[in-house]
Amino acid sequence: MPTKPITSEIMQDGSEKHWTKEEIAARKISESLIKRKTKKSLNPPSWLSKEACITWRRVTASVKDLELLDNMDTEILAMYCDAYVKYQELSIKEKINNDDLKAMQAYSRIVISYAEKLGLTPSARARLVKKHADKVLDKFGDKFD
């Protein structure tokens, strides 16, 4: 199992590892780098169903302050919303047969996969921050390429 990414708040509050001031500063800088300078409004594609548009609005509203999604993410977010709604539709059926169960498993894998790709899970967001912090700390990386 991969190690869990750690945010600057966790680093300062204390964890099992001793973090240097440089590591904490680099993590804070990287957290600020993933914030967008101007707000972007994301619009759902026209093919998205009414129910999926509701999910779209819920997701975009919940990540609005994180400035995580961009216009380039619209297709993936649309597929996430579509799969989420299809999973919901199957899960509320009174009688679920084997084909429905297989489809639900497929949709759940799609939803989880796209949520990770879009940074909608806590671990995905922390991984993004860590990746940026590692770039800031790498003082000699360009010299050895």
pLDDT at position 106, please? 96
Distances in whole angstroms, Cα of residue 24 to Cα of each of 90, 120, 135:
45, 24, 13
Residue pLDDT, tens place only, 103-120: 999 999 999 999 988 888
Nearest CA to 48 out of 37, 56, 36, 60 is that of: 56
Gap between the Cα atoms of 103 and 33, Å rounded? 39
Gap between the Cα atoms of 109 and 113, Å rounded? 6
pLDDT at position 10, please? 53
Q: Where are the domains of the chain?
A: 8-140
- Proportion of the chain above pLDDT 90, given as a percent: 37
Structure-block tokens of residue 82: 């579509």
Gap between the Cα atoms of 8 and 63, Å rounded? 19
Do 125 and 115 form a contact (C-beta atoms < 8 A)?
no
Q: What is the pTM of this model?
A: 0.63
- Which helix (H) or strand (E) is 103 found in, with range? helix 98-118
How far is residue 139 CA from its own chain's centroid?
Answer: 28
Residue 40 CB partners (closer than 8 Å, separation 6+): 67, 69, 70, 71
